[in-house]
Structure 1
Amino acid sequence: MATAPKSNDDIRAQFKQDVNMTAAELAKWLQTEESKTVGQASGDGSSIGHHSGERIVEILHKKQADLTAHDDEHMHKVHSYVSRHLAQGPHNKDDVKTSRWRYSLMNWGHDPLKDK
């Protein structure tokens, strides 16, 4: 398993590698019913992953010079989630395309079926 990124540059590079969806793709995905059906409840009707996806869209729209420590913290959280979730893999490998596993990863900006 990879070690945790240490510097902001490392965090940002890992985030760029982990998030393989564009801001437009992710924003469009977050509007789907499939996106809204997965993830741990946040207490306001949306999942934690769905909120994360919205935050990722905001980060992707920023210029590198405008990123904040709060952005870096969220990028590290994204890296941790994507790494952990990819390692778990889907429960049913025959149905990856429509799996909750894939949908959850997509809420966090990573489509495991998409080439970078």
Structure 2
Amino acid sequence: MTDALELDALWEEFHRAVNMTSQELAAWLRVRDAGESTEPLPDRAGDATGQQVLEILQKRRTDLTDDDVRVMYRVVDTVAAQADEENEPEAQDTRRRHRLMTIGHDPLRP
């Protein structure tokens, strides 16, 4: 496990990168996975990373596991790599926006 200072910094970075609430992310994952005639069970919507982000958002910092920490680093790195400040996506860049939203980051939010 990472030390307390490193974990505090990661917690802050993660919550800056993940700018959607757990309710918004859960709703997005359900909508994203809904088919024409079917809708996934609420607790099974979205990919594994999206589900892990959702679980982390519902935890306290003291309840994080090593796996949670790995996911948090991966999400922070992904958002940093794909959402640079100078080149925020335009509204029509929906595919990129939707990819980021599956891990809880809406690039159109300030």
User: Counterpart of 2:108 in structure 1: which amino acid?
Assistant: L
Q: Does 1:65 align with 2:62?
A: yes
State TM-score, norm by structure 1: 0.70
Larger mean Cα displacement after TM superposition, 10-19 or 80-89: 80-89
Structure with greater Cα Rg: 2
Q: In structure 2, list runs of 5 or more residues that go unmatched.
A: 34-45
User: Counterpart of 2:98 in structure 1: which amino acid?
Assistant: Y
Cα distance in 1 for residues equivalent to 2:91 and 2:61: 39
Aligned to 2:73: 76
Aligned to 2:49: 52
Q: Does 1:18 align with 2:25?
A: no
User: Counterpart of 2:61 in structure 1: which amino acid?
Assistant: Q
User: Counterpart of 2:51 in structure 1: which amino acid?
Assistant: E
SS of aligned partner of 1:95: coil
Give percent identity, aligned residues only.
37
Aligned to 1:46: none
Q: Deviations over 1:5-56 (max 9, x none)?
A: x811211110011000011100000011xx34xxxxxxxxxxxx83211110
State TM-score, norm by structure 2: 0.74
User: Counterpart of 1:22 in structure 2: which amino acid?
Assistant: T
Give runs of ≥4 in structure 1 deviating > 6 Å. Answer: none
SS of aligned partner of 2:20: coil
Aligned to 1:114: 109
Q: In structure 1, list runs of 5 or more residues that go unmatched.
A: 1-5, 37-48
